[in-house]
Amino acid sequence: MAVYDLEEQEQLDELKTWWKLHGNLVTAVVVAVAAAALAWQGWNWWQRQQTAEASALYMGVQQAAARNDAKRARELAGELIDKYSLTAYAGMAAMLSGRAQFDAGDIKTAKAQLQWAAENAKDEALRDLARLRLATVLLDEKAYDEAMKQLAAEPAAASFAPRFSEARGDVLVAQGKPAEAKAAYEAALARLAQKVGVTEGNPRGTGGTAARQQAPYKDMLQAKLDALGTTGGAK
């Protein structure tokens, strides 16, 4: 027993010595880990709170837009953007309110909200869609150069590629550039074919349903192309 007690005492002394050397570091690490865990929990709670509040505001924007209450939609979208710009709902609200403002004839506000969504929406596809819609509004205003600026960069979402090419064609037609417009519409058709998986060896595409769903859009693109004539010259 005496030998065991002696060994135990030696181990205790070694532990005391080790703690004197490393105790402060161990305490600091434990405190840091605990603080990090609390901070992470706090961040998650804050994010959930932000998302819940932003969601409630977005529902308000949806309801206002459904009632054609552009003023209320604008107010709620503005509040959502001001307070919860880091959430996905901010870009969605800007898009929805932008449409409501356009329908109400407030083109200036519509452009501002679409521009915000194009630059700040969290989802890449939503930014692409905002650029596309903004370009359409600018085309209606005959602001052709500004419209083309919105369409200059290729969309991050490949599914929007045909639409971007088509929109470029529409702007080029309005600018009186039929040859360039023809090339843009041809590009739109080619990208649409890629989208549905159409190839020379597979004319029906990889997905028959997808090809059928896109058939009306393909026909519209072809009609725009045919309207330019075989040479692309203006008539």
As a whole number of angstroms, the distance between CA 205 and CA 203 comes to 5
The reported pTM is 0.73
Nearest partner of 92 among 70, 105, 73, judged by Cα: 73
pLDDT score for 1: 45
Convert the pLDDT of each residue in 28-85 to its tens digit: 666 666 666 656 566 556 567 778 888 899 999 999 999 999 999 999 999 999 999 9
Please answer whether residues 189 and 218 qualify as being in contact, where contact means their C-beta atoms are separated by less than 8 angstroms: yes
Q: Which range (95-99, 202-206, 229-233) has the least confidence? A: 202-206
Mean predicted confidence (pLDDT) in 96-112 = 95
State the burial class of residue 134 (Cβ atoms within 10 Å of its Cβ: 0-12, 13-18, 19+).
Answer: buried
| 157-235 has CATH 1.10.600 classification | no
Locate the domains of the chain by residue range. 54-143, 157-235
- What DSSP character marks residue 122? S
Residue range 150-167: mean pLDDT, rounded = 93
CATH code linked to domain 54-143: 1.25.40
Phi and psi for 200 in degrees, rounded to 5?
-60, -35
Phi-psi region of 231 (alpha: psi -120 to 50; beta: other; left: phi over 0): alpha
Measured distance CA(40)–CA(174) in Å, rounded: 54
**Out of 12-21, 48-57, 153-162, 223-232, which region has the weakest mean confidence (pLDDT)?**
12-21
